[in-house]
Structure 1
Amino acid sequence: MQRMIKQSIVLPGTAAIALLFAGCGESKVAQCNKIVKVANQAVTIGQDFGKNPNPQKGSKALTEVATKIDTITTDMKGLEIKDEKLQGYQGRFLTLYQSTSKGLKDTATAIDKKNLKSANTALASLKKNSSEETKLVNEINSYCSGK
């Protein structure tokens, strides 16, 4: 009888401890904050470039921004995100940053080659990325705020 009482206390206690540790993973909010922190760095790069585009540097300024975006891409890729929906947002940010970097590099190359048509095509792609970024930011903000 005494053995049965110990088992009935030990098993539920063990299960409660296991559930406690299983729940110790990063919260959705913490994971959101990690993604948003990296995304905000990308926004800052874009804003800084918009305020001071360094036209005297020409295409080199675009290449420098692309290099900074590549760093942001690496940072975003390195985040450990468990929430499936947030993993989707993370993937979309990665695609966006890779596309933006490519667009900046393509624009720089077109400028160097004095190819106006290619430059305009690359700029149109960058403009599309900007609208995609706005949509993505709104979606992740909504998800992370619980709306």
Structure 2
Amino acid sequence: MSVWRKYTLIIPVSVSLVLFLTSCDDSKASQCQRLITAVNDGTSLLETNKGTQVITSLKLAQDLEAVAKNIGEKNFKDPKLQEFQTRFVKVFATLSQNINKAGKALGAAKLTEASSSGRDKLQKTRDEIDNALKVATIAAKQSDILAGEVNKYCSQTE
């Protein structure tokens, strides 16, 4: 095999290898994009299912739990993105738990009979719903603040 033939084979293979390795680079921008996409999936679930019925609320809670798990399974090398990841997992888990509580309480309220004890039970259920929704509202506000922090961080050059 001549030297020329040898190099015509080695050069394209080397260039292909370099391009492949470069494309696998897990840059800050690509890590940010993965996190933002996962968070946006959860946020769109909330927007789509706002103020819906019991069954939908329970399904939303399950979906938000899956979003929290999905975000938690992302592998980020950037320490700041790892911190954001942990915080978003907590936010979506909190949203899931409290929407689930509110949905279950709403379901129980619908089954409450019209009686003196039923009114007491209904008031207790309303309090449970209010408390769960207050916690969920706080978590949603934290999510908004956190999203702003992520956008600010991710817009900075490396």
Q: TM over 0.5: same fold? A: yes
TM-score, normalised with respect to structure 2: 0.71
Tell me, yes or no, if structure 1 residue 81 matches structure 2 residue 85.
no
1:71 is displaced (CA, Å) by 1.6
Matched-pair contact (CA < 8 Å) for 2:61–2:97? yes
Unaligned runs of 5+ in 2: 1-20, 110-124
Q: TM-score, normalised by structure 1?
A: 0.76
| CA-CA distance at 1:113 after TM superposition | 2.6
| 2:38 corresponding residue in structure 1 | 38
Provide the identity percentage: 21
Which amino acid counterpart does residue 122 of structure 1 have in structure 2?
A
Q: Where does the alignment leave 5 or more consecutive residues of structure 1 unmatched? A: 1-20
Counterpart of 2:100 in structure 1 is 105
Match of 2:49 in 1: 49
- CA shift at 1:78, angstroms? 1.5
2:58 touches 2:104 (CA, 8 Å); kept in 1? no
The CA RMSD measured in Å over matched residues stands at 1.8
Aligned-partner Cα distance in 2 for 1:113–1:68? 21
Distance in 1 of aligned mates of 2:38 and 2:107: 31
2:154 is the counterpart of 1:144: yes
Alpha-carbon distance in structure 2 between the residues aligned to 1:63 and 1:90: 24
Deviations 1:92-114 (A, max 9, x none): 00000110000011101221232
Q: Check conservation: 2:62, 2:96, Cα contact below 8 A.
A: yes
CA distance in 1, matches of 2:25, 2:80: 16
Aligned length: 121
Q: What is the alpha-carbon distance in structure 2 between the residues aligned to residue 87 and residue 129 of structure 1?
A: 19
Matches of 2:140 and 2:71 in 1, distance apart? 18
- Give the alignment partner of residue 132 of structure 2, picking from 122, 132, 143: 122
Is the radius of gyration larger for structure 1 or structure 2?
2
- Per mean C-alpha deviation after superposition, the further-off stretch among 136-145 and 61-70 is 61-70
